[in-house]
Structure 1
Amino acid sequence: MQAIIALWQRVFSSTQTLEGIAPLAIRLYLAPVFMQAGWNKLSHFSDTVAWFGNPEWGLGLPLPGLMAGLAAGTELIGGGLLVLGLLTRLVSIPLMVTMLVAIFAVHWENGWLAIADSGSWLANQQVLDSAEKLERGRAILAENGNIDWLTSSGNFVILNNGIEFGATYFVMLLALYFLGGGKYTSLDHFLSRN
């Protein structure tokens, strides 16, 4: 028992031993987010290319096929590298670029909030206007649907699609850029030792 206590004290008395935990947690949180986004883009590639290229209802980007391929590949491969903690600092850069494009080209006009919450101090006019739509939607569900079943997994909400998630992911990637993959928790750490 004393040996276990001594080991515990030795491991947990030094923050250097545990400093890889935070980068690991960030990597494992971000990886499925990016891998899913990349997979969705690839699974519906022609739709993604159309959205990237159309200036009227899409992003209006030049070379939409190339841009869609780069975005999908960056997210899918980058997410896989994050899982492994391989080339963490390097892969954080193009992933941050994808977040900046998402923030400024897709979500910026919607403000901060991802979910419309008219009671938030961050609510813009679009969010405030959604309160009436939300109440009307709830009334329609109460009259014509099984509202208890529909809301059994969570509240009925209106998506605002603001920059909240993109900005959060950007900050997390920025942290990984400076922290790296993590001591003892990434392939980067073990490869750099050799």
Structure 2
Amino acid sequence: MSLLTKFTDFTASAGQHLAFIPLLLLRLYLAPVMMQAGWNKLSNFESTVAWFGNPDWGLGLPFPEVMAALAAGTEFFGGILILLGLATRLVAVPLAVTMVVAMITVHAKNGWLAIADSASWLADGTLYLDESVMAAEEKIAAARNLLEQHGHIEWLTSSGKFVILNNGIEFAATYLIMFLLLFCFGGGRYLSVDYYLSKRR
């Protein structure tokens, strides 16, 4: 057996035994994001319903009470199940659907970028021209100028530079890919409830 074959076999075996780690990290990353999003909707349910239903400044969705309840419940309780690794594949489906709906109804009109970056080829016209992103630098410069004259610019920027939220599909698409991975591979060995339930079966 060649050295290359031995190395390939070793890495394949190690990968199988360690596969639970990236799945655990996916769950630990996604759970608080989803739980917080769901909690925000549940704790401000009336305003969430208004935003879901209003066609002028909201999403204009039908049955806004039902849609808001489904979205909030899926995110909050789905996040808890993802954290536990319980029914991971099952709950990944509605969470993935929620991300697709968010991408289509909320984020798609803003292009890809979550944060406005006028230097990015994802918004500068190379693939897609986003006028609002292209104006971001001018807006930030104007804000800095105002704060330098009337505010505490050093204190306000001590934790990082100012950015403008573009609210594109970037984050929702990333979460969608993560949920698809959990659907395909489950919650992982050793540190998920699903693993021990499957052993009992």
Letter in 1 for 2:122: L
> For residue 183 of structure 2, what is the aligned residue in structure 1?
177
| Aligned residue type for 1:89 | R
Query: What pairs up with 1:84-99 in 2 under 5 angstroms?
Result: 84-99=84-99
Distance 1:43 1:154 in 2: 30
Structure 1 SS opposite 2:190 = coil
The secondary structure found in structure 2 opposite 1:160 is: coil
> d(CA) in 1 for partners of 2:147 and 2:119?
22
SS in structure 1 of the partner of residue 135 of structure 2: helix
Q: Does 1:55 align with 2:55?
A: yes
Any idea what SS the aligned residue of 1:156 has?
A: coil
Partner of 1:82: 82
Letter in 2 for 1:126: S
TM-score, with structure 1 as normaliser: 0.91
Q: Which residue of 2 aligns with 1:144?
A: 150
Alignment partner of 1:14: what SS?
helix
Q: 1:192 aligns with which of 191, 195, 198?
A: 198
Structure 1 gaps, min length 5: 1-12
Aligned AA (1:61):
L
Runs in 1 of length 4+ with deviation above 3 angstroms? none
Cα distance in 2, alignment partners of residues 56 and 185 from structure 1: 46
- Sequence identity percentage: 63
Per-residue Cα deviation, 1:125-168 (whole angstroms, up to 9, x for no partner)? 22002221111111111111101100111111111111110000
Residue-pair matches, total: 183
Aligned to 2:44: 44
Report how far residue 17 of structure 1 moved. Answer: 2.3
1:1-194, aligned counterparts within 5 Å? 14-123=14-123, 124-194=130-200
Q: Which amino acid counterpart does residue 38 of structure 1 have in structure 2?
A: G
Instruction: Note the alpha carbon deviations across 1:17-56, whole angstroms, 9 max, x for none.
Output: 2111111000100000000000000110000000000111
Give, as a single letter, the amino acid of the residue that structure 1 aligns with 2:90.
L
Mapped partners of 2:15, 2:101: distance in 1: 36
Q: Distance in 1 between matches of 2:75 and 2:158?
A: 32
Computed over aligned residues only, the root mean square deviation of the Cα atoms, in angstroms, reads 1.2
Cα distance in 1 for residues equivalent to 2:50 and 2:43: 14
In structure 2, C-alpha distance between the alignment counterparts of 1:170 and 1:70, rounded to whole Å? 17
Report the AA paired with residue 64 of structure 1. Answer: P
Distance 1:191 1:110 in 2: 43
How far, CA to CA, are the matches of 2:27 and 2:41 in structure 1? 21
